[in-house]
Structure 1
Amino acid sequence: MHTVEIPTPDGPLHALRSGPAASDGGPVVLAAHGITASAMSFAAVARALPPDWSLLAVDLRGRGRSNTLPGPYGMDRHAGDLASAAEHVGRPVVLTGQSMGAYAALRAATRFPGLFTRLVLIDGGLPLPVPAGADPDAVLEATLGPAILRLRMTFPTQEAYVDVFRNHPALAASWSDDLDAYVRYDATGDPGAIRSRVDPAAVAADGRDLIVNAATFGDDLRGLRLPADLLYAPRGMFGQEPGILPQPLVEHWTRQSTLRAELIADCNHYTILTAPAAAARIAEVLTGREVPLHSSR
């Protein structure tokens, strides 16, 4: 994958490109990753695309090689960065995002529809119900507290850091070279103090935005004017059923919007991007080569 630097007023947004250069004029997929992830999340999907397609996966600000770009964070800011990436390509692109990246992609598709030809949400993008009167910080701690704690930890070696992921219940049974490369890309620091590149403050700010402003993503879904698909996993962040997007929630939003939805078999919230069969199906939908989706309506 080739390094691409996308100009922003705050400095370059880092991205990784696979396939032909955008200047070759072929079709391009622009991809946004999850809340503690990086551009390397999309390696298997990139490999599954036809050879004339490019995939441009960004490191969202606060992550990967974009971790020095400053806040504020939040989906509006990430949507603006995705718009900058599309403008850098110079023609409309297919837009996709996984997990938190799906919310950023949804916001970008709503705010800047002329920059994109279609939208594909991957296991994210639907407003998650928040109990009435719930303390957003308590919800944040319950959902992202362990991840933020890991981001603040240091490890003696890169191998010790890789082992954290290799032993994760959602990843252990599906460990691959792609996952190994993804973790090593995320690792930084000197021996004895290896840590994640992800800024914990960015994760906390983005997580709080997803909770406090959950209803606004419903407004985005209702306002979509682009062809839009949702691909979602039957298992969640610890590799167990149910997935993070319950079937009733999916059915509600396919009724409330133009979104089409399909459950991708035999994967979880993470392996929906890395399992070969799941990555191949995502590539089919991104490129429009697929048989019609089985809608959840």
Structure 2
Amino acid sequence: MSTPADVRLPEEITVPVDGGDLAALYWAADAPAAPLVVLVHGITSNAMVWAPVASALAGGCQVVAPDLRGRGRSAGLPSPYGLGTHAADVTALLDAFGADDGAGADVTVLVGHSMGGFVATLATAGTARGLVHGLVLVDGGLPFPVPPAADTDAMLAAFLGPTLDRLDTTFPDEAAVLAFWAEHPTVGPWVDDPAVAAFLARDLTGAPPELRSAVSREAVRVDGADMLRNEAVLETTTDLPVPATLLWATRGMDGETPGLYDEARLAGMGLAGAHVTAREVPDTDHDSLLWSPQGVAAVAAAVREAVVRAD
């Protein structure tokens, strides 16, 4: 499959945070004081997952995608983990771009995919309150159906499946990594896409024949428990200071229907009172929302709407 937009090459940057430097990718704008868009990835992902979306926005916006603590090139940042720590790291990134002093962009939009949606809502309602003018949630940020498991490890295994399995796997070379992902029901159709291949490569650490995922299992364990069971996190959308848009996929993390959200579940969440507008992105799953033409177009359109609304 081809990428949905011409993928621009980002700049590697770092931002000081508690305990070290947070790695991030930066796509520049064509004009000064352009809107700042911060893209926050999911629980075992990394910044490069956003490359097609970032390319669709770059030029008109400054776009920054961090590798969250315990992932990608931020894997070496120390604990504590947890969504509150990630929200603080995102706030430090906003501060670094001048969101708090009037010297940076006039409009800032946070975008979060999957677990990143919960990080984005927590930052918007808490540590970054007043710094964020728009919020876009991409198949995340509102409570998920919790797997019927007795403990955190079993719960995460049921929820994440093969995405979690790779954390205990050693690969002899990148071809073996691609072969592993080719079997995944939602990533598999995209492994030949250069942008997706770059995302999968950014996940790796070590050297052949001992390549492995850079993702910290402990980070996943702590963050996953927060995402699925922490009531304070799950209720954050009731205190959002800005309107939010939720884009939800027709299919789920393994391509199943219904996905993480559906019309019936969303109808019972009281979204109108929380100033959250939900929109289905047809013929997408949890991963292709970030890679397919219709998914990229929907995310980019929601970001641009948030910018206009904030202006």
- Fold conserved between structures, TM > 0.5: yes
Per the alignment, residue 15 of structure 2 pairs with: 6
Normalised by the size of structure 1, how large is the TM-score? Answer: 0.91
Structure 2 unaligned blocks of 5 or more = 1-9, 100-106
Per the alignment, residue 94 of structure 1 pairs with: 109
Give percent identity, aligned residues only.
38
Per the alignment, residue 229 of structure 2 pairs with: 212
Q: Sort the Cα spacing of 1:132 and 1:48 in 2 relative to 1 into closer, same or farther, 3 A.
A: closer
Question: For each residue in 1:258-287, what CA deviation from the matched residue of structure 2 results, as whole angstroms up to 9, or x when unmatched?
Answer: 100100111110010011221012111101
8 Å CA contact 2:136, 2:244 repeated in 1: yes
Aligned-partner SS, 2:284:
coil
Equivalenced residue count is 290
8 Å CA contact 1:63, 1:198 repeated in 2: yes
Given the alignment, which residue of 222, 236, 242 partners 2:258? 242
1:125 matched to 2:141: yes
CA deviation after TM superposition for structure 1 residue 291, in Å: 11
Question: For each residue in 1:26-49, what CA deviation from the matched residue of structure 2 results, as whole angstroms up to 9, or x when unmatched?
Answer: 111001101000000110101111
8 Å CA contact 2:170, 2:210 repeated in 1: yes
Given the alignment, which residue of 116, 120, 130 partners 1:105? 120
What letter matches 1:2 in structure 2? Answer: E
What letter matches 1:151 in structure 2? Answer: L
CA deviation after TM superposition for structure 1 residue 17, in Å: 0.7
Distance, in Å, in 1 between the alignment partners of 2:189 and 2:308 is: 30
CA deviation after TM superposition for structure 1 residue 94, in Å: 0.6
1:259 matched to 2:268: no
Distance, in Å, in 1 between the alignment partners of 2:61 and 2:281 is: 22
CA deviation after TM superposition for structure 1 residue 132, in Å: 8.9
1:80 matched to 2:96: no
1:275 matched to 2:283: no
RMSD: 2.3
Distance, in Å, in 2 between the alignment partners of 1:191 and 1:135 is: 35
8 Å CA contact 1:235, 1:241 repeated in 2: yes
Distance, in Å, in 2 between the alignment partners of 1:133 and 1:67 is: 28
Aligned-partner SS, 1:170:
coil
What letter matches 2:185 in structure 1? Answer: P
1:63 matched to 2:71: yes
Distance, in Å, in 1 between the alignment partners of 2:112 and 2:178 is: 24
Given the alignment, which residue of 161, 183, 192 partners 2:200? 183
Per the alignment, residue 248 of structure 2 pairs with: 232
8 Å CA contact 2:29, 2:62 repeated in 1: yes
Moved more, 77-86 or 168-177: 168-177
Aligned-partner SS, 1:231:
strand
Per the alignment, residue 295 of structure 1 pairs with: none
Normalised by the size of structure 2, how large is the TM-score? Answer: 0.87
CA deviation after TM superposition for structure 1 residue 52, in Å: 2.4
Distance, in Å, in 2 between the alignment partners of 1:171 and 1:205 is: 24
Q: Sort the Cα spacing of 1:74 and 1:289 in 2 relative to 1 into closer, same or farther, 3 A.
A: closer
CA deviation after TM superposition for structure 1 residue 133, in Å: 9.3
Structure 1 unaligned blocks of 5 or more = 293-297
